[in-house]
Structure 1
Amino acid sequence: MIFSGKKNEDSTIVELLASSLRKDIAFGTLLPDQKLKLNELRSRYGGSNHSMRETLRILSSEGLVEGAAQRGFRVTSATEDDLRDIQLVRQEIESIALSRAIALGDVAWEGQVVAAHHALQKAEAAVATTPDDLTALEWDDACRAFATALIAACDSPRLIDLQRKFFDQSRRFRLALLREGKLNWAARKARQKALLDAVLDRDETTALALLKEEIGADLKA
Protein backbone atom coordinates (compact mmCIF):
# COMPACT_ATOMS: atom_id res chain seq x y z
CA MET A 1 0.00 0.00 0.00
CA ILE A 2 1.39 3.39 -0.96
CA PHE A 3 -0.56 5.49 1.54
CA SER A 4 -2.34 4.79 4.76
CA GLY A 5 -6.08 5.35 4.69
CA LYS A 6 -5.71 7.16 8.01
CA LYS A 7 -4.15 10.22 6.46
CA ASN A 8 -6.15 13.36 5.90
CA GLU A 9 -8.12 13.26 2.67
CA ASP A 10 -6.91 16.56 1.33
CA SER A 11 -5.81 17.64 -2.10
CA THR A 12 -2.24 16.46 -1.50
CA ILE A 13 -3.38 12.86 -1.00
CA VAL A 14 -5.52 13.02 -4.13
CA GLU A 15 -2.59 14.43 -6.11
CA LEU A 16 -0.34 11.58 -4.91
CA LEU A 17 -2.96 8.98 -5.73
CA ALA A 18 -3.48 10.46 -9.18
CA SER A 19 0.27 10.50 -9.83
CA SER A 20 0.56 6.82 -8.88
CA LEU A 21 -2.35 5.77 -11.08
CA ARG A 22 -1.03 7.83 -14.00
CA LYS A 23 2.30 6.04 -13.74
CA ASP A 24 0.71 2.59 -13.58
CA ILE A 25 -1.52 3.35 -16.57
CA ALA A 26 1.50 4.62 -18.52
CA PHE A 27 3.63 1.56 -17.69
CA GLY A 28 0.81 -0.90 -18.40
CA THR A 29 0.40 -2.07 -14.82
CA LEU A 30 -3.22 -0.99 -15.20
CA LEU A 31 -4.25 -2.28 -18.62
CA PRO A 32 -6.43 -0.62 -21.27
CA ASP A 33 -10.14 -1.25 -20.60
CA GLN A 34 -9.37 -2.72 -17.15
CA LYS A 35 -12.18 -2.15 -14.67
CA LEU A 36 -11.19 -0.01 -11.69
CA LYS A 37 -12.94 -1.15 -8.52
CA LEU A 38 -12.74 1.16 -5.54
CA ASN A 39 -12.02 -1.55 -2.96
CA GLU A 40 -9.21 -3.02 -5.03
CA LEU A 41 -7.72 0.41 -5.71
CA ARG A 42 -7.88 1.36 -2.03
CA SER A 43 -6.19 -1.89 -1.06
CA ARG A 44 -3.39 -1.25 -3.51
CA TYR A 45 -2.91 2.52 -3.30
CA GLY A 46 -4.53 3.57 -0.02
CA GLY A 47 -6.85 6.50 0.54
CA SER A 48 -10.58 6.42 1.19
CA ASN A 49 -13.58 5.96 -1.08
CA HIS A 50 -13.94 9.74 -1.25
CA SER A 51 -10.28 10.43 -2.16
CA MET A 52 -10.19 7.57 -4.68
CA ARG A 53 -13.41 8.73 -6.35
CA GLU A 54 -11.95 12.23 -6.62
CA THR A 55 -8.76 10.75 -8.08
CA LEU A 56 -10.74 8.84 -10.71
CA ARG A 57 -12.72 11.98 -11.51
CA ILE A 58 -9.48 13.86 -12.18
CA LEU A 59 -8.07 11.07 -14.34
CA SER A 60 -11.37 10.94 -16.21
CA SER A 61 -11.09 14.65 -17.01
CA GLU A 62 -7.57 13.94 -18.34
CA GLY A 63 -8.81 11.17 -20.64
CA LEU A 64 -6.91 8.39 -18.85
CA VAL A 65 -9.99 6.86 -17.22
CA GLU A 66 -13.58 6.54 -18.39
CA GLY A 67 -16.66 6.43 -16.19
CA ALA A 68 -20.18 5.33 -17.09
CA ALA A 69 -23.38 5.56 -15.07
CA GLN A 70 -24.02 2.36 -13.10
CA ARG A 71 -20.93 0.74 -14.62
CA GLY A 72 -18.10 2.32 -12.66
CA PHE A 73 -14.69 3.29 -14.01
CA ARG A 74 -12.24 1.65 -16.38
CA VAL A 75 -8.90 2.51 -17.95
CA THR A 76 -9.36 4.24 -21.30
CA SER A 77 -8.86 2.05 -24.36
CA ALA A 78 -5.58 2.09 -26.29
CA THR A 79 -6.47 1.09 -29.84
CA GLU A 80 -4.73 2.10 -33.06
CA ASP A 81 -7.56 4.57 -33.66
CA ASP A 82 -6.90 6.09 -30.22
CA LEU A 83 -3.22 6.35 -31.08
CA ARG A 84 -3.81 8.06 -34.41
CA ASP A 85 -6.24 10.51 -32.85
CA ILE A 86 -3.87 11.43 -30.02
CA GLN A 87 -1.06 11.89 -32.52
CA LEU A 88 -3.23 14.17 -34.68
CA VAL A 89 -4.33 16.32 -31.73
CA ARG A 90 -0.81 16.60 -30.30
CA GLN A 91 0.62 17.66 -33.66
CA GLU A 92 -2.03 20.33 -34.14
CA ILE A 93 -1.95 21.75 -30.61
CA GLU A 94 1.82 21.71 -30.23
CA SER A 95 2.36 23.22 -33.69
CA ILE A 96 0.14 26.19 -32.82
CA ALA A 97 1.86 26.59 -29.45
CA LEU A 98 5.40 26.29 -30.84
CA SER A 99 4.64 28.80 -33.57
CA ARG A 100 3.56 31.30 -30.92
CA ALA A 101 6.55 30.48 -28.72
CA ILE A 102 9.00 31.10 -31.56
CA ALA A 103 7.37 34.48 -32.18
CA LEU A 104 7.14 35.52 -28.52
CA GLY A 105 9.96 33.69 -26.73
CA ASP A 106 12.87 35.57 -25.20
CA VAL A 107 16.43 34.58 -24.29
CA ALA A 108 15.30 33.04 -21.02
CA TRP A 109 12.94 30.76 -22.96
CA GLU A 110 15.77 29.77 -25.28
CA GLY A 111 17.85 28.83 -22.23
CA GLN A 112 14.97 26.73 -20.88
CA VAL A 113 14.72 24.83 -24.17
CA VAL A 114 18.49 24.25 -24.31
CA ALA A 115 18.52 22.94 -20.73
CA ALA A 116 15.57 20.63 -21.37
CA HIS A 117 17.23 19.29 -24.52
CA HIS A 118 20.46 18.60 -22.62
CA ALA A 119 18.57 16.71 -19.90
CA LEU A 120 16.66 14.73 -22.53
CA GLN A 121 19.86 13.65 -24.26
CA LYS A 122 21.29 12.37 -20.97
CA ALA A 123 18.05 10.52 -20.20
CA GLU A 124 17.89 8.98 -23.69
CA ALA A 125 21.50 7.76 -23.41
CA ALA A 126 20.78 6.22 -20.00
CA VAL A 127 17.57 4.41 -20.98
CA ALA A 128 19.08 3.17 -24.25
CA THR A 129 21.90 1.57 -22.26
CA THR A 130 19.93 0.39 -19.22
CA PRO A 131 16.19 0.25 -19.97
CA ASP A 132 14.88 -0.48 -16.48
CA ASP A 133 11.84 1.05 -14.73
CA LEU A 134 13.87 3.86 -13.14
CA THR A 135 15.61 5.02 -16.31
CA ALA A 136 12.34 4.63 -18.24
CA LEU A 137 10.53 6.90 -15.78
CA GLU A 138 13.33 9.48 -15.86
CA TRP A 139 13.34 9.35 -19.66
CA ASP A 140 9.58 9.80 -19.82
CA ASP A 141 9.85 12.82 -17.49
CA ALA A 142 12.62 14.27 -19.69
CA CYS A 143 10.49 13.81 -22.82
CA ARG A 144 7.69 15.69 -21.10
CA ALA A 145 10.03 18.47 -19.93
CA PHE A 146 11.42 19.04 -23.43
CA ALA A 147 7.95 19.09 -25.02
CA THR A 148 6.78 21.51 -22.32
CA ALA A 149 9.81 23.78 -22.68
CA LEU A 150 9.32 24.10 -26.43
CA ILE A 151 5.92 25.74 -26.00
CA ALA A 152 6.46 27.47 -22.64
CA ALA A 153 6.60 30.93 -24.26
CA CYS A 154 3.36 30.56 -26.22
CA ASP A 155 1.52 32.87 -23.76
CA SER A 156 -1.55 30.62 -23.63
CA PRO A 157 -2.23 28.67 -20.42
CA ARG A 158 -5.01 26.77 -22.20
CA LEU A 159 -2.72 25.57 -24.98
CA ILE A 160 -0.19 24.47 -22.37
CA ASP A 161 -2.88 22.64 -20.43
CA LEU A 162 -4.12 20.86 -23.55
CA GLN A 163 -0.56 19.88 -24.45
CA ARG A 164 -0.06 18.38 -21.00
CA LYS A 165 -3.34 16.46 -21.17
CA PHE A 166 -2.68 14.83 -24.52
CA PHE A 167 1.00 14.25 -23.76
CA ASP A 168 -0.12 12.25 -20.71
CA GLN A 169 -2.50 10.28 -22.92
CA SER A 170 0.41 9.44 -25.23
CA ARG A 171 2.76 8.16 -22.50
CA ARG A 172 1.74 4.49 -22.57
CA PHE A 173 2.20 4.27 -26.34
CA ARG A 174 5.71 5.72 -26.17
CA LEU A 175 6.67 3.52 -23.22
CA ALA A 176 5.34 0.47 -25.09
CA LEU A 177 7.69 1.30 -27.97
CA LEU A 178 10.52 1.48 -25.43
CA ARG A 179 9.66 -1.90 -23.92
CA GLU A 180 9.44 -3.45 -27.38
CA GLY A 181 12.81 -2.02 -28.46
CA LYS A 182 11.29 -0.09 -31.36
CA LEU A 183 12.90 3.32 -30.78
CA ASN A 184 15.68 4.47 -33.11
CA TRP A 185 17.95 6.32 -30.70
CA ALA A 186 20.36 7.68 -33.32
CA ALA A 187 17.51 9.09 -35.41
CA ARG A 188 15.90 10.59 -32.32
CA LYS A 189 19.14 12.30 -31.29
CA ALA A 190 19.66 13.83 -34.73
CA ARG A 191 16.04 14.96 -35.04
CA GLN A 192 15.94 16.52 -31.56
CA LYS A 193 19.18 18.42 -32.20
CA ALA A 194 17.82 19.66 -35.53
CA LEU A 195 14.61 20.74 -33.80
CA LEU A 196 16.58 22.61 -31.14
CA ASP A 197 18.67 24.38 -33.78
CA ALA A 198 15.59 25.38 -35.77
CA VAL A 199 13.92 26.79 -32.66
CA LEU A 200 17.00 28.79 -31.68
CA ASP A 201 17.32 30.08 -35.27
CA ARG A 202 13.61 31.03 -35.16
CA ASP A 203 13.13 28.92 -38.30
CA GLU A 204 9.42 28.27 -37.81
CA THR A 205 8.82 26.20 -40.96
CA THR A 206 11.62 23.74 -40.20
CA ALA A 207 10.83 23.61 -36.50
CA LEU A 208 7.17 22.77 -37.07
CA ALA A 209 8.01 20.05 -39.58
CA LEU A 210 10.50 18.48 -37.17
CA LEU A 211 8.08 18.74 -34.26
CA LYS A 212 5.41 16.83 -36.19
CA GLU A 213 8.01 14.25 -37.18
CA GLU A 214 9.13 13.88 -33.56
CA ILE A 215 5.57 13.36 -32.32
CA GLY A 216 4.92 10.88 -35.14
CA ALA A 217 8.04 8.90 -34.27
CA ASP A 218 6.97 8.79 -30.61
CA LEU A 219 3.52 7.50 -31.57
CA LYS A 220 3.60 4.90 -34.28
CA ALA A 221 0.31 3.24 -35.20
Structure 2
Amino acid sequence: MLFGDRGGTDETIVAMLSSAIRRDISFGVLRPDEKLKIEALRQRYGGSNHSMRETLRILTAEGMVEATNQRGFRVTSATEDDLKDILLMRIETERLGLKRSLQSDSVAWESQVVAAFHGLHRADVAVQETPNDAIALDWDEASRALSAALLSACGSRRLIETANKFYNQSRRYLLALLREGQIDFAAREKRHQILREAILARNDELALTTLEEDIRAALKTT
Protein backbone atom coordinates (compact mmCIF):
# COMPACT_ATOMS: atom_id res chain seq x y z
CA MET A 1 0.00 0.00 0.00
CA LEU A 2 1.47 3.34 -1.06
CA PHE A 3 -0.84 5.88 0.57
CA GLY A 4 -2.83 5.75 3.78
CA ASP A 5 -6.39 6.91 4.31
CA ARG A 6 -6.56 10.26 6.05
CA GLY A 7 -10.34 10.27 5.79
CA GLY A 8 -12.51 12.68 3.82
CA THR A 9 -11.74 13.80 0.27
CA ASP A 10 -8.08 14.71 0.57
CA GLU A 11 -7.09 16.19 -2.78
CA THR A 12 -3.44 15.42 -2.12
CA ILE A 13 -4.17 11.70 -1.66
CA VAL A 14 -6.27 11.66 -4.85
CA ALA A 15 -3.48 13.41 -6.76
CA MET A 16 -0.90 10.88 -5.52
CA LEU A 17 -3.17 7.93 -6.28
CA SER A 18 -3.84 9.30 -9.77
CA SER A 19 -0.12 9.74 -10.39
CA ALA A 20 0.73 6.23 -9.19
CA ILE A 21 -1.98 4.47 -11.21
CA ARG A 22 -1.29 6.64 -14.26
CA ARG A 23 2.38 5.66 -14.02
CA ASP A 24 1.58 1.95 -13.67
CA ILE A 25 -0.72 2.07 -16.70
CA SER A 26 2.01 3.83 -18.70
CA PHE A 27 4.64 1.29 -17.65
CA GLY A 28 2.39 -1.68 -18.40
CA VAL A 29 2.09 -2.81 -14.77
CA LEU A 30 -1.65 -2.44 -15.25
CA ARG A 31 -2.37 -3.96 -18.64
CA PRO A 32 -4.76 -2.76 -21.38
CA ASP A 33 -8.36 -3.87 -20.69
CA GLU A 34 -7.43 -5.07 -17.18
CA LYS A 35 -10.36 -4.81 -14.76
CA LEU A 36 -9.83 -2.35 -11.94
CA LYS A 37 -11.62 -3.33 -8.74
CA ILE A 38 -11.87 -0.70 -6.02
CA GLU A 39 -10.93 -2.97 -3.11
CA ALA A 40 -7.97 -4.53 -4.92
CA LEU A 41 -6.71 -1.08 -5.87
CA ARG A 42 -7.09 0.12 -2.27
CA GLN A 43 -5.05 -2.82 -1.01
CA ARG A 44 -2.34 -2.05 -3.54
CA TYR A 45 -2.27 1.75 -3.47
CA GLY A 46 -4.15 2.78 -0.33
CA GLY A 47 -6.78 5.48 0.06
CA SER A 48 -10.46 5.25 0.93
CA ASN A 49 -13.30 4.01 -1.26
CA HIS A 50 -14.22 7.62 -1.97
CA SER A 51 -10.67 8.72 -2.85
CA MET A 52 -10.17 5.69 -5.12
CA ARG A 53 -13.46 6.33 -6.92
CA GLU A 54 -12.48 9.96 -7.39
CA THR A 55 -9.09 8.83 -8.70
CA LEU A 56 -10.74 6.53 -11.25
CA ARG A 57 -13.12 9.33 -12.24
CA ILE A 58 -10.12 11.58 -12.98
CA LEU A 59 -8.32 8.86 -14.94
CA THR A 60 -11.51 8.14 -16.89
CA ALA A 61 -11.74 11.81 -17.86
CA GLU A 62 -8.11 11.61 -19.00
CA GLY A 63 -8.83 8.55 -21.15
CA MET A 64 -6.50 6.28 -19.15
CA VAL A 65 -9.40 4.29 -17.66
CA GLU A 66 -12.84 3.34 -18.99
CA ALA A 67 -16.08 2.87 -17.08
CA THR A 68 -17.83 -0.40 -17.98
CA ASN A 69 -21.53 -1.11 -18.36
CA GLN A 70 -21.52 -2.91 -15.01
CA ARG A 71 -20.37 0.32 -13.34
CA GLY A 72 -16.88 -1.02 -12.91
CA PHE A 73 -13.63 0.20 -14.41
CA ARG A 74 -10.89 -1.15 -16.63
CA VAL A 75 -7.67 0.10 -18.17
CA THR A 76 -8.30 1.65 -21.58
CA SER A 77 -7.56 -0.58 -24.57
CA ALA A 78 -4.37 -0.15 -26.57
CA THR A 79 -5.16 -1.21 -30.12
CA GLU A 80 -3.65 0.03 -33.37
CA ASP A 81 -6.76 2.14 -33.94
CA ASP A 82 -6.35 3.65 -30.47
CA LEU A 83 -2.77 4.59 -31.30
CA LYS A 84 -3.76 6.18 -34.61
CA ASP A 85 -6.43 8.25 -32.89
CA ILE A 86 -4.06 9.36 -30.13
CA LEU A 87 -1.45 10.24 -32.76
CA LEU A 88 -3.97 12.37 -34.64
CA MET A 89 -4.87 14.30 -31.50
CA ARG A 90 -1.27 14.75 -30.40
CA ILE A 91 -0.25 16.16 -33.77
CA GLU A 92 -3.22 18.52 -33.99
CA THR A 93 -2.98 19.88 -30.44
CA GLU A 94 0.80 20.07 -30.19
CA ARG A 95 1.24 21.71 -33.58
CA LEU A 96 -1.34 24.33 -32.65
CA GLY A 97 0.24 24.87 -29.25
CA LEU A 98 3.75 25.24 -30.67
CA LYS A 99 2.52 27.59 -33.40
CA ARG A 100 0.92 29.86 -30.82
CA SER A 101 3.98 29.68 -28.57
CA LEU A 102 6.22 30.70 -31.48
CA GLN A 103 4.00 33.73 -32.03
CA SER A 104 4.48 34.81 -28.42
CA ASP A 105 8.05 36.02 -29.13
CA SER A 106 8.98 35.28 -25.52
CA VAL A 107 12.64 35.08 -24.52
CA ALA A 108 11.62 33.42 -21.24
CA TRP A 109 9.82 30.72 -23.24
CA GLU A 110 12.94 30.16 -25.38
CA SER A 111 14.99 29.66 -22.23
CA GLN A 112 12.47 27.17 -20.87
CA VAL A 113 12.48 25.21 -24.12
CA VAL A 114 16.29 25.12 -24.33
CA ALA A 115 16.45 23.88 -20.73
CA ALA A 116 13.88 21.16 -21.51
CA PHE A 117 15.89 20.02 -24.54
CA HIS A 118 19.02 19.86 -22.39
CA GLY A 119 17.23 17.87 -19.71
CA LEU A 120 15.90 15.40 -22.26
CA HIS A 121 19.32 14.98 -23.87
CA ARG A 122 20.79 14.05 -20.50
CA ALA A 123 17.89 11.65 -19.87
CA ASP A 124 18.39 10.05 -23.29
CA VAL A 125 22.06 9.42 -22.49
CA ALA A 126 21.27 8.08 -19.02
CA VAL A 127 18.56 5.65 -20.15
CA GLN A 128 20.87 4.20 -22.79
CA GLU A 129 23.68 3.72 -20.29
CA THR A 130 21.52 2.42 -17.41
CA PRO A 131 18.21 1.05 -18.72
CA ASN A 132 16.40 0.36 -15.44
CA ASP A 133 12.92 1.34 -14.26
CA ALA A 134 14.07 4.29 -12.14
CA ILE A 135 16.03 5.83 -15.02
CA ALA A 136 13.16 5.07 -17.42
CA LEU A 137 10.83 7.01 -15.10
CA ASP A 138 13.17 10.02 -15.19
CA TRP A 139 13.40 9.69 -18.98
CA ASP A 140 9.62 9.54 -19.29
CA GLU A 141 9.29 12.69 -17.19
CA ALA A 142 11.95 14.52 -19.23
CA SER A 143 10.12 13.60 -22.45
CA ARG A 144 6.84 14.88 -21.01
CA ALA A 145 8.55 18.06 -19.77
CA LEU A 146 9.77 18.93 -23.25
CA SER A 147 6.32 18.43 -24.74
CA ALA A 148 4.85 20.68 -22.04
CA ALA A 149 7.55 23.35 -22.52
CA LEU A 150 6.91 23.61 -26.25
CA LEU A 151 3.27 24.53 -25.62
CA SER A 152 3.71 26.55 -22.45
CA ALA A 153 3.53 29.99 -24.12
CA CYS A 154 0.46 29.22 -26.25
CA GLY A 155 -1.81 31.30 -24.03
CA SER A 156 -4.54 28.67 -23.69
CA ARG A 157 -4.93 26.64 -20.52
CA ARG A 158 -7.51 24.39 -22.17
CA LEU A 159 -5.26 23.68 -25.13
CA ILE A 160 -2.42 22.75 -22.77
CA GLU A 161 -4.72 20.47 -20.74
CA THR A 162 -6.02 18.77 -23.89
CA ALA A 163 -2.52 18.22 -25.27
CA ASN A 164 -1.37 16.85 -21.92
CA LYS A 165 -4.31 14.44 -21.85
CA PHE A 166 -3.36 12.87 -25.17
CA TYR A 167 0.35 12.92 -24.35
CA ASN A 168 -0.40 10.88 -21.22
CA GLN A 169 -2.42 8.43 -23.32
CA SER A 170 0.58 7.95 -25.61
CA ARG A 171 3.13 7.30 -22.86
CA ARG A 172 2.59 3.54 -22.62
CA TYR A 173 3.30 3.13 -26.33
CA LEU A 174 6.53 5.12 -26.07
CA LEU A 175 7.65 3.29 -22.93
CA ALA A 176 6.92 -0.07 -24.56
CA LEU A 177 9.21 0.90 -27.44
CA LEU A 178 11.88 1.89 -24.91
CA ARG A 179 11.64 -1.49 -23.14
CA GLU A 180 11.84 -3.27 -26.50
CA GLY A 181 14.92 -1.30 -27.59
CA GLN A 182 13.16 0.14 -30.63
CA ILE A 183 14.07 3.81 -30.18
CA ASP A 184 16.68 5.23 -32.55
CA PHE A 185 18.33 7.68 -30.18
CA ALA A 186 20.74 9.06 -32.80
CA ALA A 187 17.88 9.99 -35.12
CA ARG A 188 15.92 11.35 -32.15
CA GLU A 189 18.82 13.60 -31.16
CA LYS A 190 19.13 14.90 -34.72
CA ARG A 191 15.42 15.77 -34.88
CA HIS A 192 15.66 17.56 -31.56
CA GLN A 193 18.63 19.61 -32.73
CA ILE A 194 16.72 20.66 -35.84
CA LEU A 195 13.61 21.48 -33.79
CA ARG A 196 15.55 23.50 -31.22
CA GLU A 197 17.38 25.51 -33.87
CA ALA A 198 14.17 26.12 -35.82
CA ILE A 199 12.46 27.43 -32.69
CA LEU A 200 15.33 29.78 -31.85
CA ALA A 201 15.41 31.00 -35.46
CA ARG A 202 11.60 31.39 -35.40
CA ASN A 203 11.38 29.18 -38.48
CA ASP A 204 7.76 28.24 -37.86
CA GLU A 205 7.29 25.91 -40.83
CA LEU A 206 10.41 23.85 -40.09
CA ALA A 207 9.63 23.74 -36.37
CA LEU A 208 6.07 22.50 -36.91
CA THR A 209 7.12 19.95 -39.53
CA THR A 210 9.90 18.61 -37.33
CA LEU A 211 7.62 18.41 -34.31
CA GLU A 212 5.17 16.28 -36.27
CA GLU A 213 8.00 14.06 -37.50
CA ASP A 214 9.20 13.61 -33.93
CA ILE A 215 5.76 12.66 -32.63
CA ARG A 216 5.33 10.11 -35.41
CA ALA A 217 8.81 8.69 -34.87
CA ALA A 218 8.30 8.51 -31.10
CA LEU A 219 5.23 6.33 -31.63
CA LYS A 220 6.69 4.38 -34.57
CA THR A 221 4.06 5.54 -37.06
CA THR A 222 4.31 7.04 -40.54
TM bucket (normalised to shorter chain) is: over 0.9
CA distance in 2, matches of 1:146, 1:198: 15
CA distance in 1, matches of 2:162, 2:6: 34
Report whether the alignment pairs 1:96 with 2:92: no
Shift of 1:70: 2.1
CA distance in 1, matches of 2:120, 2:79: 28
CA distance in 2, matches of 1:11, 1:5: 12
Shift of 1:9: 3.7
Give CA deviations for 1:115-144 in whole Å, capped at 9, x if unaligned.
Answer: 000000000000011111011000010001
Task: Give 1:149's aligned residue.
Answer: 149
Task: Give 1:214's aligned residue.
Answer: 214
- What does residue range 1-221 of structure 1 map to in structure 2 within 5 Å? 1-6=1-6, 9-221=9-221
CA distance in 1, matches of 2:148, 2:175: 18
4+ aligned runs moved over 6 Å, structure 1: none
Where in structure 1 are there 5+ consecutive unaligned residues? none
Shift of 1:8: 5.2
**Conserved? CA contact 1:9–1:47, under 8 Å:** no
Report the AA paired with residue 13 of structure 1: I
The Cα RMSD (Å) is 1.0
Over the matched positions of the two proteins, sequence identity in percent amounts to: 56
CA distance in 2, matches of 1:110, 1:202: 10
CA distance in 2, matches of 1:59, 1:201: 38
CA distance in 2, matches of 1:192, 1:105: 20
Give CA deviations for 1:143-179 in whole Å, capped at 9, x if unaligned.
Answer: 0111111111111111101111000000000000000
**Conserved? CA contact 2:99–2:204, under 8 Å:** yes
Partner of 1:66, secondary structure, is strand
Shift of 1:42: 0.5
CA distance in 1, matches of 2:197, 2:128: 23
User: How many positions carry a matched residue from both structures?
Assistant: 221
**Conserved? CA contact 2:7–2:48, under 8 Å:** no
Shift of 1:6: 4.6
Report the AA paired with residue 185 of structure 2: W
Give CA deviations for 1:85-113 in whole Å, capped at 9, x if unaligned.
Answer: 11111001111111111111310100000
Report the AA paired with residue 108 of structure 1: A
Shift of 1:68: 2.5
CA distance in 1, matches of 2:139, 2:217: 16
Shift of 1:7: 5.3
Partner of 1:77, secondary structure, is coil
Where in structure 2 are there 5+ consecutive unaligned residues? none
Partner of 1:169, secondary structure, is helix
